[in-house]
Structure 1
Amino acid sequence: MNKKPTIAFLINQFYNTYNNIIWRNVVEITKKRKDLNLLFFMGKELLTPYRGDIHYNSIYSLINKNVIDCVIIGAPTGTFVENEVFTNFIKKFEPIPVVTFAFQAENYPAVLVNGKKGIIEAIDHLVNVHNVRNIAFIKGPEYSQEAHERFEAYLEGLKKHGIKFDENLVVPGNFAKDRGYNGAKEIILERKLLPEAIICANDEMALGALNFMIEQKIPVPDKIKIIGFDDIVEVKLCYPPISSISQPFKQQMEKVIEIALNLIEGKEVEKVTILDTKFIPRTSCGCFENDEESTKLEFYEKYDVQPLIKMSETLIDKLTENLDFYFENTIKSKDDDFINYCRYALNLLFLENVDTDSFKERVSNFIANKIEFYKNDETISKLGNEILNKFRVIVKDYEKRIAINTIFLERNQRITLELIGQELSTSFNLRELASNIKRHLDELGIKNFLLCLYEGKVKWDKRIDYKIPEKARIILDIRDGKEIKHKNNIIKTENLFPKDFLSGDNTQGAIIPLFFSKEQFGYFILYPLLPDNLIYETIQKYISNSIKGYKLITSEKSIKNKLIETAKKLKEANKQIEKLAILDELTGLYNRRGFMTIATHLIELARRRKRDFLLFYIDMDKLKYINDTFGHKEGDVAIKAVSNILKKTFRQTDILARFGGDEFVVLAVDCSIDELSAVEERLKNNLDSYNETSVKKYSLSFSYGVAPYDRDKFHSIYQLLEEADRNLYRAKHAKHKK
């Protein structure tokens, strides 16, 4: 081939651990290769029910044969659609070759895992080892092939052991943690059943089920045993550690990449590759976890961070040369010379940014060989085992400290991103936006960045298909930190980027759509990839907000001949821009930023003029229940209803705000503590009136705390909020007691 092939990998939902593991394995497998480019197309699940997410999927419509040589797509993208719909979506990429994983579509090579084997092994284990026969099951999404296979395996496992199937022990699920929680709740609290064990179709739901057991004080594994599927990192680190069915993620992704390259080269490939799963027993099913397991976890997988650079064998060789000296010294003096030396070596490797896996493996093998060598000397053999156990302890301690350090680094990066984002989201001029992006790229570790805006409107069929304009305009093109200027900055969207944009031995990049609500703007591409992949969506939102602000302004400037009218509309556009920054989109109330700005001014005014006011901190009750039971759309209806009750209760001069989620704040201006009872009565009457006339299957309620302004006690709005929050807590506690 004359050029390096470019593979498109469809990825979604980074806050889902399964997708995160897939991402990191693909990155790790392909980063050493010099024979391909890899582009992650960062969309969401097709027809996702989560509000606002669906328009990420416009990015899939940019995949075309001019740029992409093979497409890799996995089951998560089709979680919420029927197999036929998913298959038809995949067919749209033809004639580009396609590889699927965790899902089999007609005529496309697929890499699957034998989930049935792991589920049956788990049931065998429960029956044969723990004498458990009353086994419940929380299913996966309705349209998922893998979910169906796992449920069928459950039925087969029961039949194998002569256990009668009981439909009351099975509840629907969707691979999300909250569904595991609610599934366990449905079985135990609503159906009044307490099975001996629950098998969940994935680990996320198993974690949710465990949270429910902890909340209800049902001991695991004594009263009930829990088993998940996927063997993600969280199930190894929670307490108790959850038994799970392990998927060979790395092997699966290696095979997917291998098939993709073979298809590009025109080689024959296997129609279906099936890899085995394995049941891993842990404490949650009544088995003690192998202490060595967490030691053997790869650092980057365990703590969800990018791996360190590959080891410097020279430095590690030098450090391991001294092991024998310190080991023999410890045998003679019975002190901790050997362990202290290992601790020193680990710290040195960390400071040098060297991967410690090789050193840890060498030390473990060295100690094991010494124990074998001295096996006839009971004293030395015993000491050797003590040294091995101490080494495992310092390794765990080392990894914990590294994890804490990583958390601080990621937190600092997100703080930096927040500060950058505030600047980007108020750049309502494309030239200013491009300048600000360019200035901050280096702080985020981004060396190459391309920002393109569509020349025309994107058409959407209200389901899956987006018709992208034929052309896009390059707003910013950065290569190795330097801006590239184009005489003609218009490109065809079928080309995605200037032909030499992806350069270097190995390019791993991400392409992300830019949109605001239903309005599509364009896309940006960046590489190399960032260590914290949640940052991509944050950058996307900041840039999209800025472009929306720009469009609001430029749309008002289109009327050139009517100066007075234009001036009025420009003023109105500015107000709209200000509202974007200070108003809550759902309720129309002020958001946290708007409230804090106005309240800070009012509290200073009240202090000077000796005026009174009351601060109400209000918390909706049971919003989670409404979301979980009736859906997030109904949750939004409930939030709006509460905001309307507050508007009806308080005066136009009062400051009402939604702080986020289920929290509201009201600043009642010129209102003293003597008037509190009257306000509370209005609030109660308006709430009762709503519930009496509502046709909803739920009632609204909320708790609140009140803080009257005391100019001698409170000097800032933050202090007043803290006081109101404390009173809110007391109110909720009192309500809970009743």
Structure 2
Amino acid sequence: MKKLLCFLGELNIDFQTDLAKALAQTVDKNDCSIDFVVNFNVDVASVLFGELEKRIIYIPDLDSYDGIIICPDTYGIPGLDEMIGNYLEKNAHCPVVSVRVEDDRFYSVLYDDYIPMFEMTEHLIEKHHLTRICFMTGRMELSDAHVRLSAYLDAMKKHNIEVTPGMIFYGDYWREKGDEALEFFLTKNEERPEAVVCSNDYMAIAVANAAIKRNLRIPDDIVITGLDDIDEARYYIPSITSIHPSTEQLADKIITMLKNVWSGNEQDKISKLPLENIYRNSCGCKKDIDTSQFQKLYLEKELYVAALNFSPYFGLEFENVDTFEELVRAVHLRLAYKAYGSPDDFGTIFFCMCDESEYNKEDAVEKHLNCTEYMYLKAIISGDTVSPHDIRFKRSELIPEEYRRRSSSLFIFDLHSKDDCYGYIAIQNDNIEKVKNIIKPLVFSINNALERIKMYSENQAINQIRAQSYNDPLTGIPNRRGMERYTTRLMERLRYSDEKYCLMSIDMDGLKYINDTFGHLEGDRALTAAANLLNDAKPDGGIICRTGGDEFVAIFISSAEKDATDFIARVEDAIKAANSTGEYQYDLSVSIGYEFCNKDSDMLMSLHIADNKMYESKKKKKKNRKD
């Protein structure tokens, strides 16, 4: 079986997801396997973080592969395309195919952008009788941007239409410059442009949004076209006239080229694929709205909304983890218990961490920037299960060979801060499209958590403060934050069992009387005594927390009424013994209410029920003291 490697950027973008899916299907049909090494745009992160993100290219062992695929125009980190090209030129001993960007050092599969872009421009001239046609380029450091601009210029020249400097705006293939581009066209030309031809759909949609903001009607006031035929272009109202590239044809051509090279057959260095012009509403060719796309649009929107609602909780749930083991449990809990789609959508996640013993060598500083030669498989998350491991393996395998599934692609994501490389996660997945919107925030949140864990482990003072943050400074028992940490772990345990737990609301009686009569220092002493008595009486594995003022909460695994009543009896006996010593000028007393819960219970509602029972207990007490 031939083994392929693909360097891909920004997996959440439509083209990249479609290409990954098409490649996975095509290699499987051709008895091959493929690994994807994925990098992310880090515009909002530090320069140093971006430099370490680039080093993901050093994770795979190039000699392990029979063919390598690069996608230079998908990399969001400046200079990464050049870095990968130079690295492969020097170190790759198998055929390399560059996708959509010509590189004379390798084989290249290109879309034939020139003819469809020429025809698109000519279509506006001949079919719609437009002459004031402006053009928004792509990133001019890429060859395809020059090809598309040349096609536009040649079509305009053929029809003797002058192109002035104010008719060309230099874009970047992304969304941010749509407003700037339209403003440029409107102010640099005496008459309003009749059309804007954009080098891709992202820019076309951005220009369309800018036009709508200025109350310009599309296509009545201004025509807008794009290229790539992304889903968003089809859904947009009005739908965007575009140029359709087939990722299936692209994947087939890539594999065909590689097979020719492997077999020793003649193979041209450059292969070009045709594109299809799709004329829609935004140029005026269609008047009706294609409602058949709305169902898919709705489903896409649901995935985006789910991702937006889901991803912010990574930071919240990972904030309290102190160890790698806790982080893995938190990731599993977030993916499996609080579902984003189905837990199975993520496939199998492998946590592959660097071998710290290799950092003890003389070149440790440099090694901290790259993954180690040997890695440790520390944990696996698969659907509803999470399992710790401690398997040492050679990094060239990416994951231990026994865990490889023949028909599933492997996606590699680097784990690092701006200073240190921690390892990587490998996701073995049959359809990465289902989770494409959540992977980036997941990886970045894991990175942040690993950086905090490293900082805590290296700084004992911070570690001590961190531990103290979970405990109430007066009584020494866990505080509300400690309770949240406990319940997170409890929910993970209950996820895989039918166990129940007892939730108790506990209130110290008469604290106001003690404070008013004997002073707040004595009130603090009474609170501490009550906390100690409660803590000593709790069942094994349970927790007593002070949640504020004179309020406590007890939680422990149980489904038996006797466990709750036994706990209450132990507390009452301990309080009776303490009061009999004569140590206090008042009687210690607590009121308790409880509710049994399972994994589907609403904890806040259950605590409210326990509160009400506690207050009923308080009312029934007949004591000769002033509360």
Pair 1:516 & 2:417 matched: yes
- 1:275 corresponds in structure 2 to 273
Gaps of 5+ in 2: 338-342, 472-627
Distance 2:125 2:302 in 1: 45
**Paired residues, what number?**
456
How far residue 264 of structure 1 moved from its aligned partner, in angstroms, is: 5.2
Q: Percent identity?
A: 20
Distance 2:393 2:364 in 1: 19
Distance verdict in 2 for CA 1:159–1:532, change over 3 Å: same
SS in 1 for 2:415: strand
- 2:392 corresponds in structure 1 to 490
How far residue 163 of structure 1 moved from its aligned partner, in angstroms, is: 1.8
Distance 1:85 1:436 in 2: 35
Distance verdict in 2 for CA 1:508–1:83, change over 3 Å: closer
Pair 1:546 & 2:449 matched: yes
Distance 1:41 1:290 in 2: 42
Pair 1:184 & 2:84 matched: no
Distance 2:397 2:470 in 1: 34
Distance verdict in 2 for CA 1:114–1:239, change over 3 Å: same
Distance 1:190 1:575 in 2: 63
Distance 1:84 1:527 in 2: 28
Distance 1:570 1:275 in 2: 58
Pair 1:172 & 2:170 matched: yes
Distance 1:575 1:69 in 2: 54
1:404-456 alpha-carbon deviations (Å, 9 max, x no partner): 45644664576566556643443221222334445666553244221122235
Check the 8 A contact 1:11/1:44 in 2, yes or no: no
Distance verdict in 2 for CA 1:409–1:214, change over 3 Å: closer
1:205 to 203, 212, 215: 203
Check the 8 A contact 1:434/1:475 in 2, yes or no: no
475-484 or 142-151, which deviates more: 475-484
Residue 470 of structure 1 aligns with an amino acid whose one-letter code is E
Check the 8 A contact 1:5/1:264 in 2, yes or no: no
How far residue 152 of structure 1 moved from its aligned partner, in angstroms, is: 1.2
Check the 8 A contact 1:180/1:208 in 2, yes or no: yes
How far residue 403 of structure 1 moved from its aligned partner, in angstroms, is: 5.0
Distance 2:379 2:235 in 1: 43
Q: How does 1:60-79 map to 2 (within 5 A)?
A: 60-77=57-74
SS in 2 for 1:497: coil
How far residue 494 of structure 1 moved from its aligned partner, in angstroms, is: 2.9
1:452 to 347, 352, 357: 352
- 2:241 corresponds in structure 1 to 243
Distance 2:423 2:254 in 1: 30
Gaps of 5+ in 1: 295-392, 558-567, 579-738
Pair 1:432 & 2:432 matched: no
Check the 8 A contact 2:73/2:81 in 1, yes or no: no
Distance verdict in 2 for CA 1:494–1:402, change over 3 Å: closer
Residue 451 of structure 1 aligns with an amino acid whose one-letter code is F
Check the 8 A contact 1:452/1:473 in 2, yes or no: yes
- 2:463 corresponds in structure 1 to 570
Distance 2:217 2:383 in 1: 55
Taking structure 2 as the reference length, the TM-score comes to 0.64
Distance 1:188 1:422 in 2: 46
2:160 to 156, 159, 162: 162
Distance 2:264 2:116 in 1: 35
Check the 8 A contact 2:57/2:84 in 1, yes or no: no
Distance verdict in 2 for CA 1:189–1:167, change over 3 Å: closer
Distance verdict in 2 for CA 1:284–1:64, change over 3 Å: same
Pair 1:33 & 2:29 matched: yes
How far residue 258 of structure 1 moved from its aligned partner, in angstroms, is: 3.1
Distance 1:161 1:460 in 2: 62
1:214-236 alpha-carbon deviations (Å, 9 max, x no partner): 11112222222212111222222
Residue 427 of structure 2 aligns with an amino acid whose one-letter code is L
- 1:18 corresponds in structure 2 to 15
Distance 2:306 2:99 in 1: 36
SS in 1 for 2:227: strand
How far residue 184 of structure 1 moved from its aligned partner, in angstroms, is: 1.3
Q: How does 1:299-318 map to 2 (within 5 A)?
A: none
Residue 35 of structure 2 aligns with an amino acid whose one-letter code is L
Distance 1:259 1:270 in 2: 8
Q: How does 1:317-466 map to 2 (within 5 A)?
A: 396=292, 400-401=294-295, 404=298, 407-408=301-302, 411-412=305-306, 415=309, 419=313, 422-437=316-331, 442=336, 444-445=343-344, 446-456=346-356
Check the 8 A contact 1:133/1:163 in 2, yes or no: yes
Distance 2:61 2:166 in 1: 48
SS in 2 for 1:6: strand
Distance 1:63 1:188 in 2: 49
Give the aligned CA root-mean-square deviation in angstroms.
3.6
How far residue 140 of structure 1 moved from its aligned partner, in angstroms, is: 0.7
Distance 2:193 2:116 in 1: 21
Check the 8 A contact 1:448/1:478 in 2, yes or no: yes
- 1:336 corresponds in structure 2 to none
- 2:618 corresponds in structure 1 to none
Residue 497 of structure 1 aligns with an amino acid whose one-letter code is I
Distance 1:178 1:417 in 2: 23
SS in 2 for 1:241: coil
Check the 8 A contact 1:478/1:484 in 2, yes or no: yes
Residue 499 of structure 1 aligns with an amino acid whose one-letter code is E
SS in 1 for 2:92: coil
How far residue 569 of structure 1 moved from its aligned partner, in angstroms, is: 4.7
